[in-house]
Amino acid sequence: MEAEKNTGILTETHVLFSFYLNREVTLDVYLPPGILNQYDLGLLLINDGQDLLEMNFENILEVHSEIIMPLLCVGIHCGKDRKNEYGTTDILDYKGRGTKAKAYQQFILNELLPFIKNTYLIASFKEKSFCGFSLGGLSALDIVWNHPEEFSKVGLFSASLWWRTVSQDDELFDENLHRIMHIKIRKGSYHPWLKYFFETGTQDETADRNSNGIIDAIDDTTSLIDELILKGYHMERDIKYLELKEGKHDVATWGKTFPEFLRWGWGKKSK
């Protein structure tokens, strides 16, 4: 374990061996000031945690430490087999990707959460949330949707909600029938405590498979929000959608958006 003091935010790096994934997982833990004295501590898990280094995440937390509720953040570095670990747990995509998604979910629930609690002597968190970037966002939503009893919020930054069972080039492809996460939402149950944050950028990509003048990244996100609303979630109360003009599919855009996510989810003024 390595520790670094950052003017109030303590950052520690751990390497945890996962039996489910059969590999070592690097974790960057960002501790709020006075963690040992906090009784209302929240937990935020972050897929693709290696990207937090590039966006200077310590500084983002430091700037917001006085205006958000106490929050322990864990950046989970991705593995080499990212496209299999970050898929959906019970449905493979059309290329057969996502074969390790269930194992990744088991790692999160059965290895990572107990490790955090045992390492920092935390009996329980006030709440637990999960977020991720691109395919990591899809993974975060899938795990939260599968285990709503564990989580209260999920954040998706340029999430890969196109993940599908049939290639879009196949004549049988129907986006209403073959986008995996949309199907899971449609067939799932309503859990009133769950809250959702979505970010897309107008330059996330250029593809427009249905030629409606809207890029697929935005289409896939807004149509998934529509599924959540049909399920019973309220746009103003339960969902935050942020569409960044000229936002791209990159760490710089996600870093620019992350403060908004923190204020939305944990801002003291909104509580």
Instruction: List CB contacts of 150: < 8 A, sequence separation 6 or more.
Output: 109, 113, 128, 144
Banded pLDDT at 5 (limits 50, 70, 90)? very low
Please determine, for residue 232, whether its predicted confidence score (pLDDT) is greater than 60.
yes
Reported as type and span, the H/E element at residue 178 is: helix 175-178
The reported pLDDT for the residue numbered 78 is: 97
The reported pLDDT for the residue numbered 271 is: 40
The reported pLDDT for the residue numbered 270 is: 44
Domain containing residue 96: CATH number = 3.40.50.1820
pLDDT tens digits along 172-215: 999 889 999 999 999 999 999 999 999 999 999 999 898 899 99
Domain with 29, as residue range(s), is: 2-270
Average pLDDT, the chain: 94
The reported pLDDT for the residue numbered 269 is: 63
The reported pLDDT for the residue numbered 236 is: 95
pLDDT tens digits along 113-143: 999 999 999 999 999 999 999 999 999 999 9
Q: How far apart are CA 108 and CA 105, in angstroms?
A: 5
Domain count for the chain, please give it.
1
Please determine, for residue 3, whether its predicted confidence score (pLDDT) is greater than 70.
no
Please determine, for residue 6, whether its predicted confidence score (pLDDT) is greater than 50.
no
Please determine, for residue 39, whether its predicted confidence score (pLDDT) is greater than 80.
no
Q: In what order do the strands lie in the sheet with 9-18?
A: 2-6, 9-18, 23-31, 71-76, 42-47, 127-133, 153-157, 195-203, 239-248
Please determine, for residue 44, whether its predicted confidence score (pLDDT) is greater than 90.
yes
The reported pLDDT for the residue numbered 36 is: 63
Please determine, for residue 70, whether its predicted confidence score (pLDDT) is greater than 70.
yes
SS3 string, 93-112, reads CCCCCCCCHHHHHHHHHHHH
